[in-house]
Amino acid sequence: MNSQQTESVESTVPTVPKRISGKQRKESLEEYREAFLQVPKLDDRKPVFISREVRDSLDEIVRKLGGRKMSVSGFIENLALHHLETYHDDFEVWRKL
């Protein structure tokens, strides 16, 4: 086999997911809740449109994992803020391209 064939075979071999403990799952759930399922204060709200399918999926997550006062709108706000914070520096670079 040449190196190109080896790379092709290696890329098609499925990776085996790591096993994680129940404690690790609970910790990752808490991290997720802290990042995305805290009720934000929404000032000067504006409507945003998403598909029914996405809305239903987000609603299910919020109902199962969020608190009583959490909403899909709050969840989307938290996701968008996280995205903006994560990519802030990249946005600045990309604007200059």
CA atoms within 13 Å, Cβ hemisphere of 28: 6
Contact indicator for 72, 55 with CB cutoff of 8 Å? yes
Position 21 scores a pLDDT of: 85
Q: Is residue 38 part of a domain?
A: no
CB within 8 Å of 87: residues ≥ 6 apart: none
Instruction: Decide: helix, strand or coil at residue 67.
Output: coil
- Statement: residue 6 has pLDDT above 60: no
Model pLDDT for residues 63-90, shown as the tens digit of each residue: 999 988 999 999 999 999 999 999 999 9
Position 20 scores a pLDDT of: 75
Q: How many domains does the chain have?
A: 1
Q: Please state the pTM of the whole predicted model.
A: 0.71
- Residues 52, 53, 58, 61, Cα dihedral to 10°: 130
* Percentage, residues of the chain above pLDDT 70: 81
Per the prediction, the chain carries an average pLDDT of 87
- Statement: residue 57 has pLDDT above 70: yes
- Domain of residue 87 covers 52-97
Position 13 scores a pLDDT of: 62
